[in-house]
Amino acid sequence: MSNIKTFYDLINFANSQNKKIFEICQENEAYEMETSIENIRNKVFDNINVMKSAINEGIKTNEKSLSELSGTDCYKMQANISKASLLFSNVMNKAIVYALACCEQNATMGKIVACPTAGACGIIPGAIISISEELKIDKEIQINALITAGEIGRIIACKMALAGACMGCQGECGVASGMASGAIVEMLGGSNEQIINACALTLKNIMGLTCDPVAGLVEVPCVKRNAFLTIHSFTGANLAMANIKSFIPLDEIIDAMKEVGNLMSVTLKESSQGGLSTTKTALAKQAQLEKIWKNN
């Protein structure tokens, strides 16, 4: 199992063993770490609890970050979640709130789970925790879902870097949304094929996303982007659960993402030298912050 570095090999191996993706992953992790599957699952649940804590802390505060670029959006969204003007179902509105909560905790130096990165920390918690609460999904299935997400991230990382500085935000929030979509399908009882298709459908529709943070901070557009891409993961999962398949296989999509990332200008890969980070408003804010930092 440790030699599996493609989704083609993963799904063939899992199906040949008549096992789900999470089962193959947890067995391999236990073997590699020389521990029990129970210990692996306990560690995964610890991460779920950190996600929940980040959400709980984030939803009860409207504290601004030091830059004042973020910190109040979760509070505003939560205050409006029961209004008829909000179009999504309760689970999707809750997912948006939770994604914002995690990201704002990150921006205010709270404890989060980088999944797969700190800049994308709200997407997987937003999806898993909101769905588990609304559908009353038990602890063990939540663990299965996060292990599934982790295995998706692991295999993608075998092919490309999961960093905005290397691949643009398609490698951070984009990959997180693909991981989340697979996790959702696992929570809903989908097959291995549906999990892989959910990720494929999600990733190929976020390809080319730039990383252009204002003033070099993981706040604008990062925080709100997590909210958007949490819902993006719901779309991929829903399509896959309807047995809609990606025409392009997941391994080929990741190869294409890597190619796009390599072709992307360095100005659009976390350098804050292009895109939103060089708009008039962004540059004015950067100048203001640089003055404050210099004086401090």
Q: Is the dihedral of CA 235, 241, 242, 245 positive or negative?
A: positive
Residue 36 clears pLDDT 80, i.e. is over it = yes
Q: Let me know: does 132 contact 188? Beta carbons within 8 Å.
A: no
What are 246-287's pLDDT values in tens digits? 999 999 999 999 999 999 999 999 999 999 999 999 999 999
Upper half-sphere CA count for residue 96 (Cβ side, 13 Å):
20
- Residues 167 and 163: their CA atoms lie apart, in Å, by 6
What's the confidence (pLDDT) of residue 216? 97
Q: Using one digit for the tens of pLDDT, what is the confidence trace for 42-81?
A: 999 999 999 999 999 999 999 999 999 999 999 999 888 8
Reported as a single tens digit per residue, the pLDDT across 73-106 is 999 998 888 676 677 788 999 999 999 999 999 9
Q: How far apart are CA 77 and CA 58, in angstroms?
A: 12
Q: Is the whole model's pTM more than 0.85, yes or no?
A: yes
pLDDT at 83: 72
Q: Which residues of 126-160 are buried (b: 16+ CB within 10 A; e: fewer)?
A: bbbbbbbbeeebeeebbbbbbbbbbbbbbbbbeeb
Mean of all residue pLDDT scores within the chain: 96
* CA atoms of 24 and 109, how far apart (whole Å): 35
Distances (CA, A) of 223 to 51, 105, 244: 16, 10, 30
Instruction: Flag whether pLDDT at 1 surpasses 60.
Output: no
CB contact at 8 A, 229 and 173: yes
Give pLDDT tens digits for 123-148. Answer: 999 999 999 999 999 999 999 999 99
CATH tag, 7-295: 1.10.4100
Three-class DSSP category at 190: coil
CA distance 132 to 141: 9
The percentage of the chain sitting over the pLDDT mark of 70, rounded to a whole number, equals: 98
Burial 199-216 (b: 16+ CB within 10 A, else e): bbbbbbbbbebbbbbbbe
pLDDT for the residue 85: 66
What residue ranges do the domains of the chain occupy? 7-295
Q: pLDDT band at residue 27, thresholds of 50, 70 and 90? A: very high
Task: Give me the half-sphere count of Cα atoms (radius 13 Å) on the Cβ side of residue 295.
Answer: 6
